[in-house]
Chains A and B, each alone.
Chain A
């Protein structure tokens, strides 16, 4: 009784009054701890992120001052066949690589999530390409894709993988699937391990009924993961650069959007036009992310 009646009168006014000045010194210091990171962000992420919109309205070549040209860069791109082709190449590469990689990762995750002797080792084999770097692995795949290389000889093929327009895109797609499946396998396995126990067991069911339990239980439950994976697939697809540079240098129908930006900015010194493409890429990324997240949410509900 005494406690409840005395505390309000003695304590209630004091905490706000007494605490604030004493703690705020700490909070000022605490706020300052975020400064190194925020300064780096402001200078190297936010400023260029805003400036890319500004530069997209200018004719600019690094060495000469920017000259305002309004929407000229965008109207030029709208009529530029090379840009249209780059968009198409990126689309084909992204869908061709990431759709199979995601599907394969999902199937592998379900097959490898069961507690079976050896499953850990098999996972490891699929994870290994994720730990390699794109340039190093492109050097390796240059040999794999050689007319007398591993791929042709193993499957008895006679394809000029890297020196024909018919095959180069698919060569990069095959390599991309090999490199990226493990990444999405990691994500799906993480997603599976989060599912509640009974569902997890149902997901691992063998034999008869496995197909139905996959489509009725596992796949719907993994939809949030699939949404994340497909957004990341689109982003990673649009970021593609190293294999296109190392294996074909953009020839034979492999000049993807990112390589087009690079060449426009640094080989043709058209920084403004390159910025306009970057703005376009940014809008595509946002649109695709929104669409995918919404589509998966709606199906969920």
Chain B
């Protein structure tokens, strides 16, 4: 007991023996401005204070001797300073340095439109894709309302800045997708194969993208699938064009989702007359599934698969004799599998690895002839990321692309058969350094290496981009780089030794953004080299096909979006100016390609009417006339179509919390749009070539659907999945 007494006594005397120490001083930033609310304290104790409006602080402590004084403030680098706490302490003067902070740091906006629920600097949200009138929930349809794209109504693909549809590549979770669009009748648009609401975010790049993305000459559409869902649910959809059913099961560490969709356009085509007569309207059966597994704290495995089977039979008329028809049949088989794994290995290293497999098989019948076209593709990729600090990060990646293409031709009438095929293996590697000089200035420099087995081409593609914050809400960014892509299958199959097509991108972008309002402007220049070229007779001799084509594209884009000014209203306006010419394929000289229109304008308007729980959307698209080749006149591609207009509307009505009715209609005024003209191969008696206009299958497309969600949580609905 005595011992305890002594002990307490010791503690007590120790307390009074040493007087408190006063710690005081100021905290400022580099420019000398006071920092208000900084935290100053002695590590391991509760003793400390916050700075006042003048950046001053002072506090008393019972601690003595060697300690660490800590100074912190959000957005600044902390200071840890050793101090010797004794009675007479001189005043401290702390100067805090800004830290690189992802919430504050500038983001490169040149060439890229981001779409995500989360990030601040995003232009579009995944939901916007679904609710854009005229897009009919098609990713490409919605992105076509952004600047940099050209309306090419007979294709339904993304044509970016004077590039053809094949020059835009789609990636899912970093992995390549081949044949991202449904197969259709020639000169009718194919829808994208992937539902926009599978994705938590998308980045649509119209140029100058990262060294990570290869085999894309003009544009990269980078889609990231959603993470693990958090509720069990069943979704049922009844549509004017078919039906769907899906389910999600969530377990502790993993989740499984599946969906089956059956589309049959027979009833629709019976009601609404189509330009091309159909023996069998398009019919498709699609199944897709997604599996998510949380492997460890940060490690996530994602598997996604898509199986699609579709067919149609139609009658195509001859140009010279519109009453003579030829049977055209199309059967398409599509398989896509994507597995990717992402993990944070330790404080500095992260890993992203994946594999994708695509199989696309089109069996096309024309009268008694048949073409069987099959493409298989593998993509393997591993990326290691090293974060040295918030300021500096490096990425290294290795990739293998393997592709096999086969085309078989059989003609029953004259017993002809033939086949064309090729195999391609691309080995690629890339590295990219990201450096923040400050929160206001970022530089990204990358280098990509590729070796192509077809032609033994080896190439190095440097790419660099920078962004500088010019004010709190404004920034300037630029990007320069070299881009490559293997030529289109239809040429490579004839001459597998064709070299890689090349393009250089140069762009400068200005962006102003303030809470719900964005203004963007971008100027660009692209020069194309090594494009495929052949003589006008289109012979099947391989040596006729060379890489002597070239071209250029230049122009500017403007974009304005505002969801702030008017309550419950969101709208955006885009304008693109394009000046492009190419001397490629069978062009006799530099000429504007048929898919290029000089002016593109679109306006998208969305209004949520709370009273009737309905979102109403409208969009208007305009494209100036496109060239077409008229063999009856002199000159190449000298004809010009009239301009294109489309006014579309849609609505989504929440009938009950788990029931949604969705409807949309395109081209309300019924404008007769002409995309171009097809000409007969032979002249008639008077020496004239007959022609036929390329127009949509029907003036309008009308869609109606009811979507029901069943779950324990009654508030869930299909709105985000439409």
Mutual binders A and B: no
| Residues of B bordering A, CB below 8 Å | none
